[in-house]
Chains A and B, each alone.
Chain A
Amino acid sequence: MPVIEVKQLKKTYNETMVPVHALNGVDLTFEKGEFTAIVGPSGCGKTTLLNMMGGLDRPTSGIVTIENDDITNMKAGELVDFRLNNIGFIFQSYNLIPVLTVKENIEFIMELQHRNRKEMEDRVRYLLEVMGLSDKINVRPRYLSGGQQQRVAVARALASKPKFILADEPTANLDSKSTDILLDLMAELNQKENVTFVFSTHDQRVMDKARRIITLEDGKVISDIKQVKSNEARHS
């Protein structure tokens, strides 16, 4: 069973003078454990597609199903809880809570899920170790570099144990070194723990690390390529 199924998805923005057809009938399925990049020129609909898949916005027509749950017809209240428990989000501008420490930022989402203290602490310690940030546990985000902040954001997204993680241009604000570190960490999580990632990007080097590349143009899928890659290739 696919994790995400997108059927005949259309989105038209009507707030503008001329309606914008951001998505024009997209059909896609994502399996558990995928590591997928969504690419395409600016304005092709990448963000719009990710928003629909993440339940952050409603499509004009079409259906998004997440493991049997049709999120396009969920009530607003239900959808909030569904996002909390099923979808991890990583944003271009990190979006950590500045008044909380790294540890508290990661715990925050688990607290929303009413996890117990012990479980939260163990998970924070484990995730920060994976992300190589154990020494920053009690630091506030503004004392971290962009790359470090984005790694905390990945840890936060993972903390809630989501079915998959959506990331809209997660590396757009990072330098190439931080980009490599982040992507390698994501790839490692994908390989070792079977975490499903769907991310959008403009960056050729990021695309190269993906195992599937979906290209959009004018709100349509124009290519969908699965590339088989070796570990060596990824590390070169």
Chain B
Amino acid sequence: MLVQIAWRNIWRNKIRSLVIIIAVILGLWGGIFSDAFMQGMAEQQVYSSIHTETGHLQLNAPGFLLNHDMQLRIGDADSVVEQINRLPETEAAAATIQITAMASTASSSTGIIVNGIAPDTYAKVSDISKLMVNGDYFKNDRKNMVVVGQQLADKLRVKLHSRIVLTLQTVTGDIIYGAFKIEGIYRTHNSEFDKQMIYVQKDDLQSLVGFPSGAASLVRVLLQKDDDTKEVAEKLRSQFPAEQVQTWIELSPMQQVLSGTMTQMTIIFVGIILIALAFGIVNTMLMAVMDRTREIGMLLSIGMRPSKVFGMIVLETVFLSLTGAVVGILISIGTIYWFGKSGINLSMIAQGANAMGYNSVVYPTLGAGFYFQLAIMVVVVAIIAGLIPARRAIRLKPAEAVRGD
């Protein structure tokens, strides 16, 4: 019956209860939705990072990443790719030659990294092909074509179809020059990446520097599911003990930090909102206890134990809070689901966001774990908020309270 009394008591002063319930609904909705928005941004960041910069996994000779030493290579890269493709978790794998070089025009020059790729295969592990802002991604089979980032093109002050000269070292240590024509210009969300990474046909690069055929600097792997990353990494490590196998998390630790702290930040963020709401809840319940002084005095008089009265007030506080929280969370889930599908287009205000490395359409999202943690937090905060009015209630002296006026 305590449950019934506590529940019905909420609706005794409808306006007062509704005010705090609506505050809880709006507070949580705002907090949860902002969290989902931030989480959506972070996940998008991770997604683009995987799909343009790193893949899920990368194999290379140990030490290669330190200074892109051309001697450190995967000798039988083609067979490695073939074996990886046979794994059920694999979406695609591609062998790439990666060499540091100098890109120059008549007016300026800059250090870059040349990626020698097989365009069709590479398009399966990287979204670069879809991020062309100008020109094409290796549409025709002409020799010595190059795809560069927008940032680099700007820096070198070159346009589509301009020529750039690459200065590289050959396998034997000689310096060699190659003239390449810009066939396409891409743009990712990461301007540092765009300044550095240029793409040429693997065959062109191979013959230019004398790279052995069938070999590669690295093999990039895209998986069907993000969650398989660790497991497949382990598999590959035992399958190719001679190579270094790294996950996207190891390749760009910032992403991990970002998405990892984001989950904690979201919880802290709604936590702060909840604490603010708790003050309102305490106030509402204190008023409720004052209004019911005489009734509580009666309960204590006729022999209801103070511990039960205490529990009843805490229960009522929890019900009051949960009513708002459940509605707020449901509305949040609904709106997050809706915008998670349609996306929120930030292009109006996106100039800034893009420079920060974010895409202009954000798909808000939150994991089930967040809601679980949030539900526990709501209950804990409600119980704590209930302690103060409950203590006030049981401190009433029955004889005086029952007289009540």
Q: Does B256 contact A (CB under 8 A)?
A: no
Chain A residues within an 8 Å CB radius of B398: 56
Interface size grouping (class) on chain B: 20 to 34
- Is the pair A95, B1 in contact by a Cβ cutoff of 8 Å? no
Chain B residues within an 8 Å CB radius of A107: 1
Q: Does A12 contact B (CB under 8 A)?
A: no
Beyond A93-B404, A95-B298, whether A83 also contacts B303 by CB under 8 A is yes
- Is the pair A89, B301 in contact by a Cβ cutoff of 8 Å? yes
Chain A residues within an 8 Å CB radius of B12: 98-99
**Quick one: which of B5, B302, B404 contacts A109, CB cutoff 8 A?**
B302
Q: Does A97 contact B (CB under 8 A)?
A: yes
- Which residues in window 69-114 of A have CB below 8 A to B? 77, 80-85, 87, 89, 91, 93, 95, 97-100, 104, 107-109, 111-112
**Count of A-B residue pairs with CB < 8 Å:** 67
Q: Does A224 contact B (CB under 8 A)?
A: no
- Which residues in window 1-46 of B have CB below 8 A to A? 1, 4-5, 8-9, 12
**Quick one: which of A51, A56, A99, A156 contacts B9, CB cutoff 8 A?**
A99
Q: Provide the bound-state CA to CA distance between A156 and B298, in Å.
A: 12
Q: How many residues of A contact B (CB 8 A)?
A: 29
Beyond A97-B5, A99-B9, whether A57 also contacts B305 by CB under 8 A is no
Beyond A98-B12, A99-B9, A111-B1, whether A81 also contacts B305 by CB under 8 A is yes
Q: Provide the bound-state CA to CA distance between A47 and B399, in Å.
A: 9
Q: Provide the bound-state CA to CA distance between A104 and B2, in Å.
A: 11
Q: Encode contact with B along A126-145: 1 for CB under 8 Å, 0 otherwise.
A: 00000000000000000000
**Quick one: which of B5, B303, B397 contacts A81, CB cutoff 8 A?**
B303
**In the complex, residue of chain B having the shortest beta-carbon distance to the beta carbon of A57:** B399
Q: Does A147 contact B (CB under 8 A)?
A: no
Q: Does B294 contact A (CB under 8 A)?
A: yes
Chain A residues within an 8 Å CB radius of B397: 57
**Quick one: which of B294, B295, B302 contacts A83, CB cutoff 8 A?**
B302
Which A residues have a C-beta under 8 Å from some C-beta of B?
47, 51, 54, 56-57, 77, 80-85, 87, 89, 91, 93, 95, 97-100, 104, 107-109, 111-112, 156, 160
Write 29 A-B pairs (CB below 8 A) sorted by A numbering.
Answer: A56-B399, A56-B402, A57-B397, A57-B399, A80-B303, A80-B305, A80-B306, A81-B303, A81-B305, A82-B303, A83-B302, A84-B302, A84-B304, A85-B303, A89-B298, A89-B301, A89-B302, A95-B295, A95-B297, A95-B298, A97-B5, A98-B12, A99-B5, A99-B9, A100-B1, A104-B1, A107-B1, A108-B1, A112-B303
